[in-house]
Structure 1
Amino acid sequence: MTLRCAVLDDYQCVALSVADWSSLKDEVEVVTFHEHLATEEERALALADFDIVVTLRERVAFPASLLARLPRLRLLVASGMRNSVIDFDAAKRQGIAVCGTTSSSTAPVELTWALLLGLARGIVPESQALRGGGRWQTGLGADLYGRRLGLLGLGKIGSRVAQVGLAFGMEVLAWSQNLTQARAEEVGVGRAASKEELLGCCDFVSIHLALGDRTRGLVGADEFTLMRSSSYLVNTSRAAIVDQGALLHALHTGAIAGAAVDVFDIEPLPAGHPMRTAPRLLATPHLGYVSRANYESYYGQAVENIVAFLAGSPLRRLG
């Protein structure tokens, strides 16, 4: 019997072209979904007849309630090697193998700097004015050299962002609950004594933390009052680390000079969502890991995982 494989959230319609799926053609029918399945009901109905599901990172939650409605599901492949929205215990009870894929931190590091630079130099409004025949030079860009970059998180991505900041001649300061002085010195940056100190003294703040109980809502209304009116916030990590209502208020009132975000509480972002029209905001549709090299790795390893599963030896098990 031919198995059925669903590939979710293939927004760009590239999943089948960036990897070689031919090794599965005799055993697996692959179906791609180009529109997001927004609700559990939609997912249950759409995926009920699939044996394998390939999902991108943490875009789609697979709680026990959904897994129970997918009686045929035997393999769930998620990009990345960490996932907080899959109920691994429920999957195990149901006999569902959950596997991941490796990924590179290069793409999110590059996007972080694309957003920070675009925000600092007003690239989007200047380009729009130019293309629309408007004013020639509409604002003054913010300098990086000699300014202070604050990093919330100094892990794999944060440390690489730090190196770029140092190359720009910035003073780099970092903080997280677990950051040690030894780790800060290893990367070559300063260590803030507290989150409050970092927010209050930095010109640019970039977030590079995993989402968890200690980081959810880490930056809220109180934190925005600590930041300078000339400072900028960049979030390419997880939306829930920043209180979205507090961020919108800070942008509308001018409490901060601007923000750049790649992540949102609701994804895809609804057409009328206030984040689409907020002032002082540079926003991108969760492009952090969306690069050709990463997609080639994701989908190529997804195929490897499926082949290994069919052979009875699943690769890269999660949970």
Structure 2
Amino acid sequence: MRCAVLDDYQGVALTSADWTGLDATVDVFGDHLADEDALVARLAGYDTVVLMRERTPFPRNVLEKLPDLRLLVTTGMRNASVDMATAAERGVTVCGTGGVATSTPELTWALITGLARHLVAENTGLRGNAPWQQTIGVDLAGATLGVLGLGRIGSRVAKVGLAFGCDVLAWSQNLTADAADAAGVRLAASKAELVSAADFLTIHLVLSDRSRGLVGADEIALMKPTAYLVNTSRAPIVDQDALVAALRDGRIAGAGLDVFDVEPLPADHPYRTLPNVLATPHLGYVTRDGYAIFWREVVEDIAAFAAGTPVRVIT
């Protein structure tokens, strides 16, 4: 087997698991190729490709140009950037891995607390010998935390909000009063009620046709001027142009973002310079324990496929 590991930004793929038992040539690429022709040229002759989350998309026109490809392994058990129908048509097996359920909720709260207490501005000022205490923070106790999506991640975020003393309000298209009650939170009557009431609006939905653009210009216009939007889910759930405009105009207090339409984020993107944005480079899943699971199970997936008994197959 010839195996290509893509987008190993931190150079940890080979040290996070034991690859020595594989009867395969493994080539690791730490750079990101956005150009599809360059990507296809790089992967010519490989029968196995490993994807780190959704860093490199595999749409139909890429899959159709890789005739030797037999196995795609993605970290996690869902990858919206892979054209699963085309993979099935071409006889390409797609396998996934487990992960850590707590890492993204933890980063979500790092962004929320960082925004609430202006941590970046204060830390930068302290290092630059700026005047002592430049900002006034926002209390989380008593604030309304609006949770858009109360699933595996959203429910964990809500639980921490309750521990902080937040009034936690939740809504999604399928959320029921019983599910909200079970999580100890209030069910918003509508999306409009959720976004207009929230002091911190945090998004935890799977990207789909229903969720794409769910927070658009109309919803952002309903937010309080003192409110913050936090997105550690997927960027297209929020209308990015509308969000940038609101941030530029000061119509909301700020945003905490870990996901973007284009990743890595272009050098000239306004999120890099807007003073009311706290942004991280898609770190929600990037933890030591998470990577240990990812890479160990990547190796297991490859070995099982080579033995003719693939595991964790995604259909």
Q: TM-score, normalization: structure 1?
A: 0.97
Does residue 78 of structure 2 align to residue 86 of structure 1?
no
Residue 9 of structure 1: aligned partner: 7
Count of aligned pairs? 315
Tell me which of 181, 187, 199 is aligned to 2:195: 199
Q: Distance in 1 between matches of 2:69 and 2:258?
A: 31
Residue 19 of structure 1: aligned partner: 17
Q: TM-score, normalization: structure 2?
A: 0.98
Tell me which of 113, 118, 121 is aligned to 1:117: 113
Does residue 9 of structure 2 align to residue 38 of structure 1?
no
Deviation at 1:89, TM superposition (A): 2.3
Q: Distance in 2 between matches of 1:112 and 1:88?
A: 29
Residue 267 of structure 1: aligned partner: 263
Tell me which of 42, 46, 52 is aligned to 2:48: 52
Q: Deviations over 1:171-227 (max 9, x none)?
A: 100000000000000000000010100111111110000111111111121111100
CA RMSD of aligned residues (A): 0.9
Tell me which of 187, 190, 193 is aligned to 2:186: 190
Deviation at 1:46, TM superposition (A): 0.8
Does residue 68 of structure 2 align to residue 72 of structure 1?
yes
Q: Distance in 2 between matches of 1:222 and 1:88?
A: 33
Q: Deviations over 1:59-93 (max 9, x none)?
A: 22112211111121111001111122212222122
Deviation at 1:289, TM superposition (A): 0.3
Identity of aligned residues (%): 58
Q: Distance in 2 between matches of 1:297 and 1:95?
A: 27
Deviation at 1:267, TM superposition (A): 0.3
Q: Distance in 2 between matches of 1:232 and 1:256?
A: 6
For the residue of structure 2 that corresponds to 1:31, the secondary structure is strand
Runs of 5+ consecutive residues of structure 2 not aligned to the other structure: none
For the residue of structure 2 that corresponds to 1:98, the secondary structure is strand
Tell me which of 159, 163, 166 is aligned to 1:163: 159
Deviation at 1:49, TM superposition (A): 2.0
Q: Distance in 1 between matches of 2:311 and 2:177?
A: 37
Q: Distance in 1 between matches of 2:251 and 2:97?
A: 40
Q: Which moved more, 1:149-158 or 1:98-107?
A: 98-107
Does residue 215 of structure 2 align to residue 219 of structure 1?
yes
Does residue 206 of structure 2 align to residue 210 of structure 1?
yes
For the residue of structure 2 that corresponds to 1:246, the secondary structure is helix
Residue 246 of structure 1: aligned partner: 242
Runs of 5+ consecutive residues of structure 1 not aligned to the other structure: none
Q: Which moved more, 1:202-211 or 1:37-46?
A: 37-46
Q: Deviations over 1:247-297 (max 9, x none)?
A: 111111111111100000000011111221122000000001000111110
